[in-house]
Amino acid sequence: MAEQLAPPRQAPGAVGAYVKNVRDTAKSFWEGMSVTLSYMFRKPITIQYPDRTDVPVRDTIPARYRGFLEVDMDTCTACQACERACPIAVINIDILKGDGKTTPKLRMERFDIDIGKCMYCGLCVEPCPTGSIQHTREFEGAVENFDNLTLRFVPDVLHPVVPYKPPKGAEAFPRIPLGEITRALLKAWDAPRPAFPSLEETAKAAAHGKPKEGALDPAALGRQLAAKALSVKDDKPKLQKVLEEAMAGTDCGDCGYPDCFGYSDAIAQGKDTATDKCAPGGADSKSMLETILVSLKTGAVPGEPAKPAASAASAPAAEAKAEAPAGPPLSQTLPKDELYKVVLDAMAGTDCGDCEYDDCDGYTKGIVYEGQTDLNRCAPGGEDTRVKLFQIMLGTKPPPK
Amino acid sequence: MQEWIDSLIRGWGHDPATWPWTQFLYLAFMGLFAFIVINFAAISAGIFSWAERRVAARMQSRVGPNRVGPFGFLQWVADAVKLLLKEDLVPAEADSVLFRAAPYFMMVGFACVFVCLPFSHRLIVADMNIGIFYIIAVTALIVVGIIMSGWSSNSKWSLFGAIRSAAQIISYEIPGGMALMIPVLLAGTLSTQGIIRAQGGWPWQWFIFDNPFSFAAFFIYFISALAEGNRTPFDLPEAESELVSGYNTEYSGMRFSYFFLVEWGNMWVMSALATTMFLGGWQLPFLSPAQFDALTGFPAVAAELASLAVFAGKTLFFVFVVMWLRWTLPRIRVDQMMNMCWKYLVPASFAGVIFVAGWMLVVHAVPWLGWAMRFVLTGVATVGVAMFALRTMKNLRDTGDKFDFSSNW
Amino acid sequence: MTFEEIHQRLVAKFGERVGPLAPANKDAWALVQTAAIVEVCRHLKEDPELAFDCLMNLSGVDWPKKNQIEVVYHLWSYSKRHSFILKCQLDRAKPEIASIESVWKSADWLEREQYDLLGINFTGHPDLRRIMMPDDWIGHPLLKDYKEQPEWHNITTTRDSPLDGFVRLDELRKKAAAAGAESAAPAPKKELLQ
Amino acid sequence: MTSPKPLEIPTMDMTSKEVLRRIEVGGDMLLNMGPQHPSTHGVINFLVQTDGEVMKRAIPEVGYLHRSLEKIGERCTYNGYMPYTDRVDYIAAMFANQGWAMAVERLLGTVVPERGEYCRVIACELNRIASHLISVGTMAMDVGAVTPFPYALREREFINDLLEELCGARLTYNYLRIGGVAFDLPTGYEEKVATFLDHFEKILDEFNRLITYNEIFIKRLAHLAPIPAQMAIDYCLVGPNLRASGVKFDVRKDLPYSIYPALQFNVPVGKGEMGTLGDAWDRFWCRVEEMRQSCRILRQCLAQIPKGGEIMAKMPRKIKIAEGTEAYSRIESARGDMQYYAVAGPGENAWRVKIRTGSFTAMGIIDALSRGLMIADLVALIASLDVVAPEIDR
């Protein structure tokens, strides 16, 4: 029918054109008006959201829908893979480190997601080893104040959350029904604006600050561990345990090994000398591992530094210590299995897989046994792990990134 | 209405010619009628604004305003209240006197038309013997208002809209006026009631089916009326996608609402005029005007109401058609608009007047020819409507939809 | 025609003003002397065998290490269905090259864009104005050493993130807790050690 | 170059702008059409010099939507840039995804598994229909017919539902990954798409009856701003705009990528059926026909898609590419030949990303085409070129 409406246009005479124009106009109006009239007798497609729908709109949304993010803190391993994957840094995870004895090695004191800035791309969901972070089907969260759009999955900074330790080889992880956590966290429309202190106020607070509550003294702990490591110097499994204590213990795999055991074992076996692979452990893990390795090499626990280590200036201290020994790197002195433990210990131990190995263990094995030379891969460990790994494997400081 | 007031005075025992208060009573009733008519215009415009939105929505597979009152009917009240309460802004650079005055010019030009518009057999403010002439004359006042608003806004978009509107309305008054001359010729009077009385209650008695030229004249009038009312496809003065909002771009609040009141109220005017001139107005079948005049008591009231219903029904149908056109057609360009007027409608309307004059002579000589033509045209129109209905049903089924007029309103 | 054939024709015509075909592993390109660009482009367009009738893309690449800004011309021929890539290397301190707007009209906007974002001065361009950034914007954003101004017409270019605000809030809370208000060791919700 | 120096144009006074100087203001009206104008398809400003209704010139001023996507591309990882490419052209985000994915895959030399390619093509062609629906709908609306627009949007909603089911988002899909796609087709997806296509092809006929062959619509668009083929090529017009001028070039056919060689479809070109070759109506018609061809492609994909199999190539978790490697990808986006030029940087991110989009070059031609048109024609011209503001500015 449509084609019949558009016959090829020839150039008719004046009267012919006149009549033809009138005819075409009438004909096309006839068709068009018939179409619009027929819609008077059809059911409008509109869904009368929100109140006149058969089922709540949320239940009609497909399962893959990318709504507000939700983190189940019960299965979060603190590997921070989501934080690294986020292209726009809407996820902020802060980790408190402990010695693994009196306090857990890693505790999350902050897991904030700014859903006002989130672009719902889903890239954070993909690397999560346990499926803890997920998009929900929640999409209604309008608030009067922008700042109220931040979801705080650790409700209280004074009560840090201990990360989940997934059982070995697990493929499914327990998870509470999707959406419940986020729904509980969404603020009311007229919730008051959070009273953010100004920068000056916080600076004052920091100036008065003592070491973070619950924070450990990495230098002291490092010396403790070093002493212990010296005592079990030749017993690789025990040494591995000591080394693992210095790690974050999230089994994130960011170090390239499947878990913290892998990394620490690699270091213990001497297969891995990098101490900077433990991403969740960060600077603290790195400095502790350094201390242990240095003491293993030199045979003596490094002495108390002159100034109190409480200033938490762990990284410079560790570096200072790292420079002290002039012997060959641990990779050459330690047997492979021990090195493996040492290396594994240097890693963050979150098993995050960021290093392209399945877990920290894999990366450690890669370094120690398979000749992997790239020591920069432990993302959760960051700079600390890098420094450690280079120290262990090459005996040098890592090149600047 | 003068006779009616006079009879009222006589009923009180005075002679209208000598009673000293006659003129005051006339004045009081004038004020009363003006009040009624303007309120009728405003309320119908408001209701049309709601109706247009519902109709448009349904045609576009949407729902439209359906929350305020039953079927959203009170939406127009809410909108009116909102517009009245909004701040009435005058741009700093505008000519504030003209800017403020422009809407009233439009209102005057619009409201004056109602003086001559019939509603039923007896309901008309004043059945002037030059009714059509008067209507064409006063509607021109709207142009003055539009140009004033466009010029005084000191906005280029408004100016564009105003100039377009002036060109458009003035141009289309010619074919529109000429097309209206055809029923005038057929009826032999300029009075609106007179023209209705010259027709009849049955479709074949209407002027539209009188002869092919009056049939064409109806469409010429209708197109011109669309243009004068700034309705799609002639909504160039307020072409939203080109001129933002045309001449009323800078208006807000109550003054803005006047513009829209005029636009929607005009739909009644153009439809009522079409009904009057071409479609037999309030004429009832089986009841000739003379019989109608002779009725008294309850039958008179009933017939009056019936004629009112017939007139309103026809008018509202055309109001619907105007809306329907608006939500179907694209807008034409300004040069095409001019082309269409001067190259198509003006010659056609002039030719129509001449041919109708000739046709009247023919029918005068051969009366059965007139009746035959009336029945043929009525038959053609009936077949056309039926075909259209079938086509519409086919459209509906072609896409696999069901006939559903009741749900999701 | 393949890249090599096109390149050979160019070398035959322009000699050493057209550099060797780069052994890039994806799309091969040839370096052209900056002064010769208009000439080479005109030849590419007008030679009936080459017939490059379309300039698809024009990009600038900043290489601070080499102290160069590269201009990359992606050419395409609709009639012959082949493509070619030219490159010019400009001095980073004074990036200037002749405009090829007279050869291909599409260069008009493409060159304006590169001028805006990289500060390459296309001499002979009829209308070299900023296109993306406001006319009074400072700096050329795609340069590697570009520093954004803190504000533009009193509009700040940065915004405080609520994430930082919450960090500051938490710091204050912890300080208050350390000061004794909440000093009683808070009971952790879960087992400390696993 | 090291320290940014202030430019020489300090004031925002309109009369001092270079543009205005070049317009001879004698007697003409200068109209600022945009940035907040209903029919500039986003925030674009046109400086229009008119003599009454007739324009002497319309100069597009773009950049109001510049989001520095190319700069962001230098900061993000290769995969992390993917959601940003959604924002290049939010009406046809899938193509921007594919362009980027193909550029990086060319850098890496990755081969995408067949099922992954089919998933990509299905998503892209659905997206092409959605994008063209917006284009033809808004074009009708700009010409004054409002009703085709809701009809077009209603059909697009169905596609949005389909894509939402496939990838979880309705607008910024972020569906493709380097080396494949993020999700496999959900169960029963093929039937759903087939049902939609059956419905849509009928609606397309109805759409044609309603607007395409409407006499006013034809009169408005026929003979409007015809672009000769040579001019279209010279200004680097791409996609339907180029094909409407009679140049039969489609990247899917002429530089085949993905699985397009295995699919049968026609490339609709303008014929000047209602007016001059390459006029606005031809551009409109090309898009309508392309929707039909996309339906055809989709049906073939649904029939041919391999059952089971990988959707992602084996990719390293962190993509690192030798510094200085460069690749150029061309894909047929809804707005035509979309091209990514990517130079690899030292780390995990690109050193330079340049996105050549169809709308950008289409805007460049408006100045040349607008001379002598009327104001209402400018609106139709912009609509017929199907420019999308974010794609111009990026």
Q: How many domains does one find in chain C?
A: 1
pLDDT, average across residues B85-97: 84
pLDDT at residue B340 is higher than 90: no
- The answer to whether residue C177 is domain-embedded is no
Number of other CB atoms surrounding residue B352 within 10 Å:
27
Contact across the interface for C57 and D364, Cβ inside 8 Å: no
Determine the residue type at C84. Answer: F
User: Which of D147, D208, D370 would best serve as a mutation to test chain B binding (most B beta carbons within 10 A)?
Assistant: D147
Contact across the interface for D273 and A9, Cβ inside 8 Å: yes
pLDDT, position C151: 81
Model confidence pLDDT, tens digit, residues B130-146:
888 888 888 888 888 88
Give the range among A348-352, B343-347, D291-295 with minimum mean pLDDT. Answer: A348-352
Residue by residue, DSSP assigns A325-387 as --S--HHHHS-HHHHHHHHHHHS------TTSSSSHHHHHHHHHTS--------TTTHHHHHH
Q: How many domains does one find in chain D?
A: 1
User: Which of B342, B396, B406 would best serve as a mutation to test chain A binding (most A beta carbons within 10 A)?
Assistant: B396
Contact across the interface for A2 and D186, Cβ inside 8 Å: no
Confidence band (pLDDT; 50, 70, 90) for C133? confident
Contacts of A53 in chain B (CB under 8 A): none
Output the six-digit token pair for B125. Answer: 């403010």
Q: Which among C57, C134, C147 has CB closest to D356?
A: C57
Determine phi and psi for C91, rounding to 5 degrees: -70, 130
Cα B254 from Cα B104, distance rounded (Å): 11
Contacts of D326 in chain C (CB under 8 A): 24, 26-27
Contacts of D214 in chain A (CB under 8 A): 28-29, 32
Q: Which residues, at least 6 apart from D91, have a Cβ–Cβ distance to it below 8 Å?
A: D130, D131, D134, D334, D388
The conformation of residue B202, written as its DSSP 8-state character, comes to S
Cα A219 from Cα A216, distance rounded (Å): 9
Residues 3-62 in D contacting B (C-alpha not used; CB under 8 Å): 29, 31, 37-39, 52-53
- The answer to whether residue D389 is domain-embedded is no
pLDDT at residue A209 is higher than 70: no
Domain residues for the domain of C53 are 3-143
pLDDT, position A218: 64
Supply the CATH number for residue D231's domain.
Answer: 1.10.645.10
pLDDT at residue B109 is higher than 80: yes
pLDDT, position B382: 92
Give the range among A247-256, B214-223, D173-182 with minimum mean pLDDT. Answer: A247-256
Three-state SS for D202?
A: helix
In the block, tokens 């290049």 appear at D88
Query: Per-domain residue ranges for chain B?
Result: 86-362, 366-401
Residues 43-72 in A contacting B (C-alpha not used; CB under 8 Å): 43-46, 48
Interface size between A and B, measured as CB pairs under 8 A? 69
Spell out the long-range contacts of D8-12 with Cβ–Cβ below 8 A and sequence spacing 24 or more. D9/C135, D9/C136, D10/C136, D11/C136, D12/C135, D12/C136, D12/C153
pLDDT at residue B181 is higher than 80: yes
Cα C54 from Cα C74, distance rounded (Å): 9
Contacts of B399 in chain D (CB under 8 A): 199, 202-203, 206
Contact across the interface for B60 and D150, Cβ inside 8 Å: yes
Say if residues A237 and A244 touch (Cβ distance below 8 Å): no
Cα D242 from Cα D267, distance rounded (Å): 12
pLDDT, position D233: 87
Confidence band (pLDDT; 50, 70, 90) for B248? confident
Contact across the interface for A196 and C162, Cβ inside 8 Å: yes
Closest-CA distance, B230 to chain A, in angstroms, reads 19
Output the six-digit token pair for D186. Answer: 């959900």
Say if residues A274 and A342 touch (Cβ distance below 8 Å): no
- The answer to whether residue D160 is domain-embedded is yes
pLDDT at residue D333 is higher than 80: yes
Residue C53, classified by CB atoms within 10 Å of its CB into exposed (0-12), middle (13-18) or buried (19+), is: buried
pLDDT, position B383: 93
Output the six-digit token pair for D130. Answer: 């959605």
Confidence band (pLDDT; 50, 70, 90) for A317? very low
Q: What angle do CA D196, D201, D206 make, to 5 degrees?
A: 120
Query: Parallel, antiparallel, or unpaired: how do β-strands C82-91 and C68-77 relate?
Result: antiparallel
pLDDT, average across residues A196-215: 58
In the block, tokens 């009233």 appear at B104
Q: Work out the angle between the directed axes of helices A282-298 and A314-323 (0-180°, nearest 10).
A: 30
Cα B277 from Cα C145, distance rounded (Å): 78
Nearest to residue D128, comparing CAs of D314, D336, D372, D342?
A: D336
Residue B137 Ramachandran class (φ > 0 left, ψ -120 to 50 alpha, else beta):
alpha
Three-state SS for D302?
A: helix
Cα A243 from Cα A249, distance rounded (Å): 11
Closest-CA distance, D356 to chain A, in angstroms, reads 23
C42 and D CB contact within 8 Å: no
pLDDT, position A205: 56
pLDDT, average across residues A110-130: 85
The conformation of residue A146, written as its DSSP 8-state character, comes to G
Contact across the interface for A62 and D182, Cβ inside 8 Å: no
Closest-CA distance, D220 to chain B, in angstroms, reads 7
Model confidence pLDDT, tens digit, residues D57-91:
788 888 888 888 888 888 888 888 888 888 888 88
How far, in Å, are A4, A390, B330, B383 from residue A23 at the CA level?
13, 86, 17, 18
Contacts of A112 in chain C (CB under 8 A): 163, 166
Contact across the interface for C178 and A213, Cβ inside 8 Å: yes
Supply the CATH number for residue C136's domain.
Answer: 3.30.460.80
Nearest to residue A277, comparing CAs of A369, A220, A338, A350?
A: A350
**Chain D residues contacting A, CB < 8 Å?**
76-77, 79-84, 86, 147, 154, 157, 164-169, 172, 174, 182-183, 186, 205-206, 208-216, 218, 273-274, 316-318, 347
Residue C186, classified by CB atoms within 10 Å of its CB into exposed (0-12), middle (13-18) or buried (19+), is: middle
Three-state SS for A196?
A: coil
Q: Which among D84, D166, D213 has CB closest to A6?
A: D213
Beginning with the edge strand found earlier in the chain, give each strand of the sheet holding C54-63 in spatial order. C18-21, C29-32, C82-91, C68-77, C54-63
Contact across the interface for C194 and A104, Cβ inside 8 Å: yes
| Average pLDDT along chain B | 85
pLDDT, average across residues D23-35: 68
Say if residues C58 and C73 touch (Cβ distance below 8 Å): yes
Contacts of D220 in chain B (CB under 8 A): 330-333, 336
In the block, tokens 């709207």 appear at B142
Residues 41-80 in B contacting A (C-alpha not used; CB under 8 Å): 55, 57-63
Contact across the interface for C81 and D254, Cβ inside 8 Å: yes
Model confidence pLDDT, tens digit, residues C34-55:
888 888 888 888 888 888 888 8
Q: Which among D38, D376, D379 has CB closest to B334?
A: D376
Model confidence pLDDT, tens digit, residues A239-250:
777 777 777 666
Q: Work out the angle between the directed axes of helices D114-142 and D189-207 (0-180°, nearest 10).
A: 30
Residue by residue, DSSP assigns B246-300 as GGGTT--HHHHHHHHHHHHHHHHHHHHHHHHHHS-TTPBTTB-HHHHHH--HHHH
pLDDT at residue A283 is higher than 60: yes
Interface size between C and D, measured as CB pairs under 8 A? 118
pLDDT, position A35: 87
A abuts B (3+ Cβ pairs < 8 Å): yes
Output the six-digit token pair for A394. Answer: 């090459």
pLDDT, position B205: 85
Residue A389 pairs in a beta bridge with: none
- The answer to whether residue C26 is domain-embedded is yes
Output the six-digit token pair for A117. Answer: 């800035």
Contact across the interface for B395 and A38, Cβ inside 8 Å: yes
Q: Which among C161, C175, C186 has CB closest to A209?
A: C175
Longest CA–CA separation in chain D, Å: 70
Confidence band (pLDDT; 50, 70, 90) for D4? very low
Three-state SS for B340?
A: helix
Tell me the HSE value of A240 on the side-chain side, using a 13 A CA sphere: 25
Query: Parallel, antiparallel, or unpaired: how do β-strands D176-177 and D180-181 relate?
Result: antiparallel
- The answer to whether residue D35 is domain-embedded is no
Q: What angle do CA B284, B286, B287 make, to 5 degrees?
A: 60
Cα D285 from Cα B192, distance rounded (Å): 49
| Average pLDDT along chain D | 83
In the block, tokens 């962190």 appear at D318
Model confidence pLDDT, tens digit, residues B229-245:
888 788 887 777 777 77
- The answer to whether residue D38 is domain-embedded is no
How far, in Å, are B58, B409, D38 from residue B64 at the CA level?
7, 8, 21
Give the range among A127-131, A219-223, A225-229, C50-54 with minimum mean pLDDT. Answer: A219-223
Confidence band (pLDDT; 50, 70, 90) for C178? confident
Rg for chain A (alpha carbons), in Å? 30
Say if residues D30 and D48 touch (Cβ distance below 8 Å): yes
Cα D72 from Cα D93, distance rounded (Å): 17
Model confidence pLDDT, tens digit, residues B288-310:
877 877 888 888 888 888 888 98
Provide, rounded to the nearest whole percent, the portion of chain B with pLDDT above 90: 4
Contact across the interface for A122 and D174, Cβ inside 8 Å: yes
How far, in Å, are A62, A378, D83, D161 from residue D185 at the CA level?
13, 34, 20, 14
C abuts B (3+ Cβ pairs < 8 Å): no
Give the residue with greater pLDDT, A395 vs D307.
D307
Q: How many residues are there in chain A?
A: 401
pLDDT at residue A12 is higher than 90: no
Give the range among A133-137, B292-296, B340-344 with minimum mean pLDDT. Answer: B292-296
Domains in chain A with CATH codes: 69-185 (3.30.70.3270), 218-304+314-393 (no CATH)
| Average pLDDT along chain C | 80
pTM for this entry: 0.81
Contact across the interface for B333 and D38, Cβ inside 8 Å: no
Say if residues B60 and D151 touch (Cβ distance below 8 Å): yes
Contact across the interface for D151 and B60, Cβ inside 8 Å: yes
pLDDT, position C108: 86
- The answer to whether residue C68 is domain-embedded is yes
pLDDT, average across residues A91-101: 74
- The answer to whether residue D2 is domain-embedded is no
Contact across the interface for D71 and C140, Cβ inside 8 Å: no
- The answer to whether residue C193 is domain-embedded is no
Say if residues A278 and A263 touch (Cβ distance below 8 Å): yes
Q: Which among A38, A44, A48 has CB closest to B396?
A: A38
Cα D380 from Cα D386, distance rounded (Å): 10
Q: Which among A104, A110, A210 has CB closest to C193?
A: A104
Cα dihedral: D368, D369, D374, D376 (round 10): -120
Cα D325 from Cα D342, distance rounded (Å): 8
Determine the residue type at D185. Answer: L
Contacts of A18 in chain B (CB under 8 A): 343-344
pLDDT, position A11: 53
pLDDT at residue C117 is higher than 60: yes
Cα C162 from Cα A390, distance rounded (Å): 37
Q: Which among C57, C93, C138 has CB closest to D7?
A: C138
- The answer to whether residue D299 is domain-embedded is yes
Contact across the interface for A161 and C192, Cβ inside 8 Å: no
Spell out the long-range contacts of A197-203 with Cβ–Cβ below 8 A and sequence spacing 24 or more. A197/C168, A197/C169, A197/C171, A197/C172, A199/C168, A201/C168, A201/C172, A202/C168, A202/C171, A202/C172
Q: Which residue on chain D is closest to B56 by alpha carbon?
A: D147
Contact across the interface for B59 and A41, Cβ inside 8 Å: no
Contact across the interface for C26 and D326, Cβ inside 8 Å: yes
